[in-house]
Amino acid sequence: GAVVSQHPSWVICKSGTSVKIECRSLDFQATTMFWYRQFPKQSLMLMATSNEGSKATYEQGVEKDKFLINHASLTLSTLTVTSAHPEDSSFYICSARDRINEKLFFGSGTQLSVL
């Protein structure tokens, strides 16, 4: 079946540093990828929608200058958390929509801990 590879699976960083998370569709092309965030005991919340070759669309309350999204190819989207702070500690997960059949596949997530 279709696979979405998300890397890294976990990261610990110091406050003020930037962290890049990659989301890659391995055997299909995705014109649209989504980035979600999940705090403990909360639901997955959509952060932004990433479209290949264009600017990402951010949900209300999500700072676009803090969460930089790049979707430069049909198989790769990246999320960079800039100047991370402890409150950014969360589980980040991406999903990719197959451009042929529109099925949605999820990565395995990235647990970010900012000290």
Contact residues: another protein, CB under 8 A: 4, 6, 9, 32, 34, 36, 41-46, 49, 51, 57, 59, 93, 95, 97, 103-109
Minimum distance from residue 16 beta carbon to another protein (Å): 28
Give 3 or 17: the residue with its C-beta nearer to another protein.
Answer: 3
The least distance separating another protein from the CB of residue 85, rounded to whole angstroms, comes to 24
Q: Among residues 15 and 50, whose Cβ is nearest to another protein? A: 50
Q: How far is the CB of 107 from another protein (least distance, A)?
A: 5
**34 vs 67, which CB is nearer to another protein?**
34
- Tokens 């890294």 correspond to what residue? 8
CA distances from 20 to 8, 12, 50, 100, 103 (A): 9, 12, 15, 28, 26
- The candidate with the shortest Cα–Cα distance to 21, out of 37, 29, 9, 33, is 9
- Neighbouring-strand partners of residue 12: 113
**How far apart (Å, rounded) are the C-alpha atoms in residues 61 and 67?**
11
